[in-house]
Chain A
Amino acid sequence: MIINLVGNLLYQFADNMAFLLLSALGLIIILGVLNIINLAHGELIMIGAYVASMSYYAGFPLWLCFVLSVVTVSLFGVFLERFVINRFSENRIGAMVATWGISLIISQGTLIVLGPSMRPIPLPPWKFSIGAYSYSGYRVLLFVVALILVFVLWLYFYKVRAGIFTRATMQDEEMAKSIGINTVGIGTLAFAVGAGFAGLTGALYAPTMSLVPLMGTVFTAMAFITVVVGGGANPIVGALGSSALLALVATPLTTSFGTFIGRVGLLIAALLIIRVMPNGISGFVMDFRSRHIRTVKE
């Protein structure tokens, strides 16, 4: 009895957290490095899912479909950054509005060119059970993949030289520029990586849902809330902390009252959290840490 309940709650928690984390990761990287909210994020996810579906029915194995999605959407991200985002370095809200224009063009263009839906990818039939219930192994895989992505991101930010340059750019772009860091290149790279994560998210969730041009909105509402709660100061701390916290809020609400109450609960939770931590979890943590480090030095 207890094991059924605990198993179910753990599974739901992992499922919710994976969804929030994968939805938000690409968005929060772009926010952290470029200080821009990419409102076309949902459409990048949609492109990822569409590319996965098309390549799946072209006969490629599933893993290769995922790789193709990531590559395609990353390249598209480079294109967007070079031709649009780049021109808004001084006007962040302007960039946001422009990316919204892009999102409308992509979703409506897809609708006009490819029609109202895309053939879904069948869900891999992996099952396992805890107690009396059986669960989808694919969804657990999503959770594991989400954690691996965070780990890869951590390796990049803290173990690779380019990662240190990226963090330097995030802290003080002018300073980074003047010691010879190619901040423009880092911006493009960050946008490409953020877009690539979005593409992967789309591909990973393609087997679990119906593929329609507006499918991105399913992800974006949650991604926005996760990013607001996480804050852009440190993408890793922000994404991980915020998705875990929000999954803790959403899991009991969703299991007892349904998905929609769960989502309203998340919005209210986000409002309460930013009242206390206006810069999100990562802003709060970074503030604490940087001041702490200063004391230690003195």
Chain B
Amino acid sequence: MSFFYKILAQQGESKVSRPFMVILGFGLALVLIYPAFASRFAITNIVFFFLFVPMALGLSLLWGHCGTLSFGQVAFFGITGYVYAIFTINFGDSTGMTILGVLAGLAATAIVAAFFGYFVFYGQVSAWIIPVLTLALTLILELFLGQTAGYEWRVGRALLGGFNGINNIAPLKLGSVKFASGTLSLYYFSVLGSIILLLLVRKLVNSRRGAVIVAIREDTERTRMLGHNVNFIQVVVFVISALLAGLSGLIYVWWGNFIDPSSVGMLSATVPVVYTVVGGKESLLATMLSTASLAFVGDFLSAHGGWYAILVNGVLLLGVMLFCPRGIFLTIGEQLRRAFSTKMNTMRDRIILETASIDSPDAVSNESAASSREVVWVSGTMKREDRPVLLEVKNISKSFGGINAISDVSLTVREGELRCLIGPNGAGKSTLFNLIIGRFLSDSGSMVFHGKEISPLPAYLRVRQGISIKFQTTRIYSGLTLAENLDIAYRADGDVNNEAHMRYWMLSMFGMESYLYKLAGNLTHVQKQWLEISLALATRPRLLLLDEPTAGMTPEETRQTAELIKKLTEKGLTIIVIEHDMEFIRQIADQVTVLHQGRVFAEGPLSWIEDHKEVRRIYLGEQ
């Protein structure tokens, strides 16, 4: 029993563990020899239990890992099945035509999913809109297909058939092998196919890209600001999950030789959601196990009347959401893990100790001094006026509805400069940051960064150009360790050799190196702010935007942060800081820009600003 916990709760593990291999080998052997003992009827049933596995895995990927719930998986299931049916009825059931039919079905699904995904993900809509619209898609498709009875609803030779659906659909044929209902070939195709898909999706989720997918679930905006093309990744994951649903649809039509609107409709839409919810959406293996077992239970109940199967689905959904929201299978796995946790913890601690000793501080500081990454930042010895311009903001404006949040602002920041941005609330400071990083697009004006016009670029591309931001309210991935947090940042060169050193270097600046394998959520408020600065640094920026980095800090912590910021500029990093704390600004001050009512009000060295009468009046509150 001791190995169940490990394979059930597999998220975050990077290697396929030995228990997983054992279970897999055992399962494979069982699957291979089962037909020798089973009747043709039993084999047909097993195919039915495994038929929904690809669709459920797709939903686990989309919802459990990427954080987007879709009720529309059955729509893609149906589209693929219908298109395959229409294609093979028109062009025959030869090997070539059935393969082309499979491709046509999957292509149709991919196109619909990409079209749909483009609008919802590039629109960056709220989380509730996607489930609602995918459900609407399902309902409309069911209504549409239901009224296609009659001769006028036909595609070539294929009649859509209204509520009766399409019958006598030819199964896939490869040479002399037919993947028809009751055959061993379909049995092996669906069962082995499910296992292979599980391994593939698991590999994806555990890869570096998979870490980004999970990061999108945890904090979409932070991930975008770490240089990832979040909208695109979401569309891709959506299309992959739709294709997996389509695969289930194909096996379904081969298995039953028919498809009808009810397999696309409201009640069928419940099926994949129930399977993932009951299994545990964050675990692929739990989802697969629950899919096969619930399909079995559902089949058993259907024999006693279809209504009861659906009723049980409803009770399961409600009950699991109320009492076991992480999923029954996953929770059991986690309970088992806890039961064996003493053993686990000692093992894990040893691993951490070993890893930590490799990254000893000396080795790191020596190597990172020689590391090429820092050379990117120019040396800070040149005089301010002689340094090249890094960011040139020219006459940008931004208005929302009626108000001009930023009007006609120009700003020149040179390399290695430390610029403070001050001004009363509502002066447009954070808006200016959002314009520079690209969270908002400016209405007019231009922005040149490092010799390149960036104002039309989306945010993630600006991050890749070398701009990075720490948000005003701290945003980190609380559920991940510090090391994993830092891993998520985009790396232009895909360089992972120096990664251990990079992390170590960034954290040691803040004295947090001993927390590297601790959960970020357990850090203190101040440490979280420092971690977020480290995160921003992990994208290797040339320009760092810090929005109130000392909010909520004690004077001592503020002083430490000021030290740190000075150290970073000494290494050549260019920094713009928004701050209200004048004491802090005095500690780090270089050049100060005062914003007032969306305009640049004054700009100059701190001493000059502090003596400026008007600034004192509007900002420091003197009469």
Contact = CB atoms under 8 A, between A and B. Distances in A.
A295 B401 CA distance: 10
Contacts of B125: 274, 278-279
Interface string B118-138: 011011111111011101110
Nearest to A271: B119
A275 B123 contact: yes
B558 to A, nearest CB: 27
A5 B422 CA distance: 63
A227 B132 contact: yes
Interface string B134-148: 011101100110010
B321 A94 contact: yes
Interface stretch (B308-316, B463-471, B561-569): B308-316
Contact of A108 (B123, B147, B307, B402): B307
Q: Is the interface of A mostly helix, strand, loop or mixed?
A: helix
A130 to B, nearest CB: 29
A217 B71 CA distance: 14
Nearest to B127: A93
Contacts of B139: 217, 220-221
Contacts of A298: 597
Most chain-A Cβ atoms within 10 A of its Cβ — which of B129, B131, B132, B307?
Answer: B132
Contacts of B401: 287-292
A104 B321 contact: no
Interface in A76-114: 84, 87-88, 91-94, 96-98, 100-105, 108-109, 111-112
A37 B318 contact: no
Most chain-B Cβ atoms within 10 A of its Cβ — which of A92, A270, A271?
Answer: A271
A133 interface: no
A111 B127 contact: no
A108 B305 CA distance: 11
Contact of B129 (A98, A100, A228, A264): A228
Nearest to B316: A101
A112 B277 contact: no
A292 B402 contact: yes
Contacts of A104: 267, 270, 310-311, 313-314, 317
B245 interface: no
A287 B120 CA distance: 20
B311 A112 contact: yes
Contact of B120 (A97, A220, A274): A274
A157 B107 CA distance: 49
Contacts of A264: 140, 144
B273 interface: yes
A275 B117 CA distance: 11
A28 to B, nearest CB: 12
Contacts of A167: none
Given A91-B325, A275-B122, A292-B401, A101 B317 contact: yes
B188 interface: no
Contacts of A105: 311, 314-315, 318
Contact of A87 (B124, B136, B322): B322
Contact of B127 (A92, A100, A228, A260): A92
Contacts of A97: 69, 273, 277, 317, 321
B124 A278 contact: yes
A267 interface: yes
Contact of A272 (B119, B126, B266): B119
A267 B314 contact: no
Contact of A267 (B128, B137, B147, B316): B137
A56 interface: no
Contacts of A111: 307
Interface in B132-185: 132-133, 135-137, 139-140, 143-144, 147
B33 interface: no
Contacts of A228: 129, 132-133, 136
Contacts of B136: 221, 224-225, 228, 267, 270
Interface of B: 69, 71, 116, 119-120, 122-129, 131-133, 135-137, 139-140, 143-144, 147, 266-267, 270, 273, 277, 307-308, 310-311, 313-319, 321-322, 325, 400-403, 426, 597
Given A97-B69, A275-B122, 20 more contacts: A88-B321, A91-B325, A94-B325, A97-B277, A97-B321, A101-B316, A101-B321, A108-B307, A220-B139, A221-B139, A221-B143, A224-B132, A228-B133, A260-B147, A264-B140, A271-B133, A274-B125, A274-B129, A291-B400, A294-B426
The 5 nearest A-B residue pairs measured at CB: A104-B314, A101-B317, A101-B318, A288-B401, A292-B402
14 contacts: A97-B69, A97-B321, A98-B321, A101-B314, A101-B317, A101-B321, A104-B267, A108-B310, A109-B311, A111-B307, A220-B139, A275-B119, A275-B122, A298-B597
